Amino acid sequence: MGDLAITADGLAKRYRIGEFQASYGTLRDSLVGAVKRIGRRDHSARHHEEIWALDGVSFELAEGEVLGLIGGNGAGKSTLLRILTRITAPTRGSAEIRGRVGSLLEVGTGFHPELTGRENIYLNGAILGMKRREISAKLGEIVEFSGVERFIDTPVKRYSSGMYVRLAFSVAAHLEPEILLVDEVLAVGDAEFQRRCLGRMESLGESGRTVIFVSHNMQAVAQLCDRAILLEQGKVVLDGDSGDVVARYLQSGLGSGSNRVWPDDASAPGDDLVRLRWARVVDEHGGLLDAVDVRRPVGLQIAFRVLRAGVPVMPKLKLVDKRGDVAFNAFDTSPRWRQPSASGEYVATAWIPGNLLNEGLYSADVAVCSIAAPKLHQHFQERAAVAFHVQDPGEGDSARGTFTGQWRGVLRPLLEWTVETR
Amino acid sequence: MAAEFNRVAAGEAGQPASARSSGLDRVIRIRPATRWPRLDLRELWHYHELLGIFVWRDLAVRYKQASIGIVWAIFQPLLIAVVYTVIFGRFAKFDSGGVYYGVFVFAGLLPWQYFSSSLSTGAGCLVANANLVTKVYFPRVLLPVATIVTPIVDLVLGFVVLLGMMAWFDEWPGGPQIVLAPAFLLLAAVTVLGLVLGLSAINVRYRDVAYAIPVFMQVLPLLSGVPFTLGALPAHWQWILACNPMTTVIAGWRWAVLDTPAPDAGQAGLSVAVALVLLAAGLAYFRSSEPRFADNI
């Protein structure tokens, strides 16, 4: 193991929930509160509840290591990253970072709509910690990489959102820190953009940079990181090889496993018309499935509750491969969804035939929509609601035949070949 | 699949690892926030370019949005000067220390405008830049400092107009005290920096500040002696007003450039002391609450 780049020792962060809500509090509220406390002679009495967003996190990261941070919402990933980037201070514990740190918590931080693309490159670059000399030297490269050369002297408020993100990412991609801390940047942008992000992260890792990468994208973590830490309720639950940690996480059903339940109707994805109940991956007999045989059909099942009758709704499925590309989108086109749906609970299962998908991890975004022509209204869309792994047992009867090497492609259909011998 | 992917990525964005510029190559220690303010000058120096960028951004945006930004910068004090000249100079016949009243009041308005525009934008600077505060690290003190640097441009423009007025009305500096003119402007900068540091930090927690400032801005020009000379007031009132450093700034600046009566040395000393206390208190409060900005904003 080389020199340590990051040492974290018992990092903890406490938030007062009351403080969150009172963030727009007025001076009057505070004064009244203070007077009341004095009146009661009870200084310790506090209305707000305390939560430990991070609770004693320790780890060491060697120079050149690429670490993935995973965990469910509220597990403390972002809080840990915010502490390491010095945006906020820990309540307890300490950390040491050796090297020039670059952080990327969003793309386009500080972009100003009135300024031109070129001006924003300087602004954003400086905010991310680049020197002006450095930016000037790389300006041509940044502009070229962004692909918005023609509009570089146009205010970015006239950019399409795609151009905006490309330019912002291009600046970030030319950061050259020794240690890079990256949050869920990949959650924005189209598949092409996400692929570029991943590619950039990969080349950073290979060039010996130390990287901490927070993501909900398990495939990306497994692919890019040597090591992963699983956080749960502010604590390190698992620290080890990224493949193992990701696998354990998926099995635990905390993240996008093959079985997700939203027990609380009020917080489940949805609106006043439709609420998601659960989503799962099943085999032909209705049994739960994590790993799918490439040759067998797989069923994606969602249960949702229609709270109010009278609106035709229909379920929709979007399957995303491990690179973030959309493999396909599909509605249930059955005529039953053209009638106004009665209220009640529905379970819809989409069957993906065997010998269609290639090997690898797929995640499914599930949605329930209604069409108010020409618009599509999504009552909810749960990204990566469930995930499953397609595997080939290698018995020679999939499209790969008896070949055992890598087999590229989003799909792996078993085609019908006709052959004539002449 | 992965191998080819890597190659593409490296070709697009790969850089030699050696091409790193020397940065803040030291160990960063992260510890719980203390109540004690710290002033890390070495770090501030490391970020001095970013300060320039913030100032440049504010100027660029302002002059882009308002196509005749320069004219607006001068128009406001000019309009106030005209109104004051008619009401206070012509009708109320305020004492202007022997100088043409229009020049007298315009000269006083320059440091006042600097103070007021720095303070109004400065107090909200952290909240206005909340997206930066919550997403990236830099010494937060750069934001308030940038907001008191930006209006210097208006001050310079106003000064050019003042020179024109002085030439037109044939009012000239009285003597060697002209060299002290920048010192009085520095006093204004120190005063407003202290206030901006303190108020911008308070504004993170209590948005009342944004509402309170315009109220004070209505009465403060009168309490700072913009339309009159301090000598026109009873002595004990002069001492009370001297607690507001802007009275010394305005009186001293006018003395330096227009040879109006000099401010009393004792009162000037009091103003300087108040300004320094404001700066120290503002900086201390800012630095000690800085680690919690991102949580509270």
How many Å is the maximal CA-CA distance in chain B?
Answer: 87
Tell me if A134 and B21 make a contact (CB, 8 A cut-off). yes
Closest alpha carbon to A173 in B14, B136, B6: B14
Task: Residue A320: name the closest of A381, A380, A260 by CA.
Answer: A381
> Is the Cβ–Cβ distance between B113 and B217 less than 8 Å?
no
Can you give the pLDDT at residue A20? 43
Spatial separation of the C-alpha atoms in residues A397 and A374, rounded to whole Å? 44
Mutate to test the interface with B, among A83, A127, A171, A408 (most CBs of B within 10 A): A127
Find the mean pLDDT for residues A269-278: 90
Cα B33 to Cα A92: distance, rounded to the nearest angstrom: 9
Say yes or no for a CB contact (<8 Å) between A90 and B53. Answer: no
Report which of A101, A285, A270 is spatially closest to residue A181, judged by C-alpha positions.
A101
> In this predicted structure, what is the pLDDT of residue A31?
67
pTM above 0.80, yes or no: no
Nearest CA in chain A to B9: A199
SS3 A314: strand
Mind giving me the DSSP string for A198-229?
Answer: HHHHHHHHHTT-EEEEE-S-HHHHHHH-SEEE
| Tens of pLDDT, residues A319-328 | 987 666 788 9
Q: pLDDT class for A135, splitting at 50, 70, 90?
A: very high
Q: How far is A330 from chain B (nearest CA, A)?
A: 26
Task: Tell which of A116, A203, A361 to mutate to test the B interface (max B CBs under 10 Å).
Answer: A203
Partner-chain contact A28 B65, CB within 8 Å:
no
In chain A, which residue's Cα lies nearest the Cα of B19?
A: A176
Q: Do B14 and A84 make contact, defined as CB atoms within 8 angstroms?
A: no
Rounded average pLDDT per 10-residue block, chain B, 297 residues? 34 34 63 74 86 92 74 85 88 83 93 94 93 90 94 92 92 86 96 96 89 88 87 88 94 92 92 96 91 85
- What are residue A308's phi and psi, to 5 degrees? -140, 130
Do A93 and B206 lie within an 8 Å CB cutoff?
A: no
The answer to whether B144 touches B200, Cβ cutoff 8 Å, is: yes
Amino acid at B172: W
DSSP A43: T
Interval A81-116: pLDDT, tens: 999 998 998 999 999 999 888 888 877 888 999 899
**What is the distance in angstroms between the Cα of A343 and the nearest Cα belonging to chain B?**
42
* Main-chain phi, psi angles of A299, to 5 degrees: -105, 130
Question: How far apart are alpha carbons A200 and B6 in whole angstroms?
Answer: 9
Between A25, A155, A202, which is nearest B6 by CB? A202
Angle at B293 between CA B288 and CA B294, to 5 degrees: 140
Asked whether A25 and B206 are in contact (CB, 8 A), the reply is: yes
Q: Mutating which of B31, B34, B295, B297 best tests the A interface, going by the most A Cβ atoms within 10 A? A: B295
Residue B31's φ and ψ, nearest 5 degrees, are -135, 165
In what side-by-side order are the strands of the sheet with A179-183? A101-104, A179-183, A210-214, A66-70, A227-232, A235-241
Cβ–Cβ gap A127/B20 under 8 Å: no
